[in-house]
Amino acid sequence: MTELYERHADLYDLAFRWDIEDEVDWLLGRLGPDCRSVLEPGCGSGRVLEPLARRGLQVVGIDRSAAMVELARARGLEAVVAHMTDFDLGRTFDGAVCPINTLAHLSPPELASHFERMGRHLRPGARYLVQLQLGGEAHSSEWETNGMRVVWATERVDRASGRQQHRSRIEVLAGEHAGEVVEELHDLTLWTPETWAAAVAASPFTQTAVFDGAVEGYPAVRPGSEGRMLWNELTRAG
């Protein structure tokens, strides 16, 4: 785990704090009308769980970063310090969400363990919505928010090893810490449509739909497509 998710968790929270109300409405639509409880693995500071809770859902998050969990709890959310590959909350949920490429932090064996744990925590028929880059398209995103300039860019892609590396850079533009820069490299798994499909096939889930989260309205796309912000709809097998 890099320092961005622990020592600089407050900066991460500010850098990724933007209006996601429309996205949350879409997520609720895909989770279905019977969804009353939602689990988010890798919940970070609770930026997705908070609007779900405001809509009346029971929400729980897990994250391996104690600093992130502390921020989520400060929002009044239920959050637990735990790794996505090894947790037991003693209950099941009606649905789950995992946005912004979080599962790319897991190796293939770790993803298998994660799916097994998620299978234990979701009722049959529950949907698990996973946003994940599939394919090795290099990209760069830059934005300014809350007095910071943020850049997140692909540094290296190695298809042979199934690995990729991203660089994050957060520059503070205003206030007491103006001029400070936090820059880190993130080593991630490179998931392709083929390796992802194989991982899902070996799990307690089936892939039921794919949507392009980089396009307004999140249109459905053909399973097996490559994309940077794909929402993969997985359904817990009965």
What is the mean pLDDT of each successive set of 10 residues along the chain, which is 238 residues long? 87 89 96 97 97 97 97 97 98 97 97 98 98 93 94 95 96 88 96 97 98 96 94 96
pLDDT at 1: 67
Q: Which helix (H) or strand (E) holds 207?
A: strand 205-212
pLDDT at 176: 81
Instruction: Quote the longest CA-to-CA distance of the chain.
Output: 54
Residue owning tokens 């993969």: 232
What is the side-by-side order of every strand in the sheet holding 227-236? 78-81, 58-63, 37-41, 93-98, 122-134, 227-236, 205-212
pLDDT at 2: 81
Tokens, residue 191: 């998931």
pLDDT at 238: 86
* 3-class secondary-structure state, position 74: helix
70, amino acid identity: E
pLDDT at 195: 97
Q: How far apart are CA 97 and CA 47, in angstroms?
A: 12
Q: What are phi and psi of 49, to 5 degrees?
A: -65, -35
7, amino acid identity: R
Q: What are phi and psi of 14, to 5 degrees?
A: -70, -40
